[in-house]
Copies of this chain bind each other. A is one copy, B any other.
Amino acid sequence: MSEAPHLTFDLDTPGLSTGHLVVPKGSDCEALSLPVFSLNKGEGPRLLITGGNHGNELEGPIVARRLVEWLPEAQTCGRVIIVPEINPLAVQAWTRNTPIDGKNLNRVFPGRADGSATERIADAVSRLLLPMADTVFDLHSAGPTMDFPPAVITHPIADADLMAKTLRMAEAFKLPMTLVWQYHDTLGMFDTWAHSQGKVFICAEFGGGTVGAEALAIYEAGVRNALITLGLVEGEAEYPTFRQQKSSRTLETLSSDLLRSPTRGIFEPRRSVLDEVKQGDLIGVLHPMESLSADSIRVRAPTTSIVCMIRSGGHVDADEEIVYLARPLNL
């Protein structure tokens, strides 16, 4: 019989303690040891912070490790568990999915004890870490091909009370955008499983493009704002400056708000994230690839809306996602 997933230390130890979450070996790889930081200041909110769910989104692991530097001192109550890299196999390979089994950790929750490596990780997290928390911050980012503002994302939740609590928590980050995303592919997401367990689950989506010092500072400020709202640390929340503005908008994007590339080519963005566009406004230009001298195709806004994601200039295939539009959330 195979070993069960376990922690190498006692999460109830007061103060800061560190150890590992051991994911048992399987037929595809040896046992994995995920570094875990437990910050126990007694009664209060119980929070789990995870990074590295997708291994090519390194803002999460970096911001999680920055929290470990100052949070043990700043935290006044409650319990925080930080796992900077919940998918170390993908983080080490710098790939979205786990290289061993090709699986997306964020689509296999709650996992399987007798499954492949990715499923065993999800199983260990679901059994041993998720029950210890009432709130989860899962730190993602948009990757290098999409331009995206620092944001917190949630998907529509059937339970109205949980939806309202989640939205309040999301807005507490005070990031430039809070987005309710009607997304088609939520089965097996960490989000979906945590919601089913009644948890408030926050997916910080943290911008696209270059991972620079300014972007990391905005992300960390967002998490700190949320920690203040939760009552875990003292201080005053601050709106981080993004594109010369300090503001925060709550938007929703529907399945119909997605624009896809009309053909294969080089996409040239003509708008930036959070720009408002009117019907017919130019959003981007597609330069067809097969014939470099063919006429370019102009991509225009089908309706008055706000650009919430736009593809970075570069190659796109036909029917690939190039722009997500959004509108103010109307609850």
Contact = CB atoms under 8 A, between A and B. Distances in A.
Contacts of A296: 65
A209 B214 CA distance: 13
A35 B272 contact: no
B312 A210 contact: yes
Interface string A233-258: 00000000000100000000000000
A289 interface: yes
B62 A212 contact: no
Interface stretch (A122-130, A185-193, A262-270): A262-270
Interface residues of A, number: 41
Interface in A33-84: 35, 58-59, 61-62, 65-66, 84
B270 A213 contact: yes
A58 B266 contact: yes
A212 to B, nearest CB: 5
Interface string A68-106: 000000000000000011001001101000000000000
Interface string A292-313: 1100100000000000001011
Contacts of A84: 292
Interface string A200-218: 0000000011111110100
23 contacts: A58-B266, A58-B314, A58-B315, A59-B313, A62-B268, A62-B313, A65-B268, A65-B287, A65-B296, A88-B292, A91-B292, A94-B314, A144-B210, A208-B210, A209-B210, A210-B312, A211-B312, A211-B313, A212-B310, A212-B313, A213-B270, A213-B271, A213-B310
